[in-house]
């Protein structure tokens, strides 16, 4: 019970910080998430509401990365396991910390990404350019950035991801 309360408190604080960052930030800001042993940055303007993992209705004949459909605040959302979509194997099981990150309503897609763990917010003052996207990367893969602790983060454009052919083709 204490873990659920702590998780709710974390979600509440993160939601407040997200709202504050959206309304006051002038520089680039990201929502930082982890999947397996990889770290990703979603542009804050493209990320939507964050939800705890919930019960899913499976979808027949869908790719394994398309986990099903969830009712999130009265709206149906397709749920995509980001690690599986990227072909990442879990280095550590973070299922107890897994969260759903919905796409911003402005992207006009009812979908949410299952991530292993939220890692908070990052601003451009906290990150340094490590390199451009690797050659041959899909359009949704952005810059690689390094934080002050030496961890490398990969920027993922959610706006580009929702237009990517492989992401749109849930049935294989």
Among 42, 39, 58, 59, residue whose Cα is nearest residue 50: 42
**Which percentage of the chain shows pLDDT scores above 70?**
83
Which residues in the chain show pLDDT less than 50? none
Could you tell me what percent of the chain has a pLDDT over 90?
73
CB 30 within 8 A of CB 43: yes
**Domain residue spans of the chain:** 2-168
> Measured in Å, how far apart are the chain's first and last C-alpha atoms?
40
Burial of 117 by CB count in 10 Å (0-12 exposed, 13-18 middle, 19+ buried)?
middle
pLDDT, position 28: 92
Looking at residue 44, its pLDDT comes to 96
CATH for the stretch 2-168: 2.40.50.180
Residue 133 pLDDT: 85
Residue in 158, 166, 27 with CA at minimum distance from that of residue 105: 158
């Amino acid at each position: 019970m204490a873990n659920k309360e702590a998780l709710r408190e974390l979600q509440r604080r993160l939601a407040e910080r997200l709202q504050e960052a959206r309304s006051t930030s002038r520089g680039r800001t990201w929502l930082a998430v982890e999947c397996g042993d990889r770290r990703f940055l979603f542009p804050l303007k493209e990320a939507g509401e964050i939800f705890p993992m919930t019960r899913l209705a499976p979808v027949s004949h869908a790719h394994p990365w398309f986990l099903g459909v969830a009712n999130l605040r009265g709206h149906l959302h397709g749920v995509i396991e980001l690690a599986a979509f990227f072909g990442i194997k879990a280095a550590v099981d973070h299922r107890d910390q897994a969260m759903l990150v919905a796409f911003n309503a402005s992207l006009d897609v009812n979908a949410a990404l299952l991530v292993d763990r939220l890692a908070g917010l990052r601003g451009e003052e906290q990150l340094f350019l490590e390199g451009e996207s690797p050659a041959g990367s899909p359009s949704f893969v952005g810059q690689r950035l390094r934080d002050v602790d030496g961890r490398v983060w990969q920027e993922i454009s959610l706006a580009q991801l929702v237009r990517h052919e492989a992401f749109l083709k849930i049935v294989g």
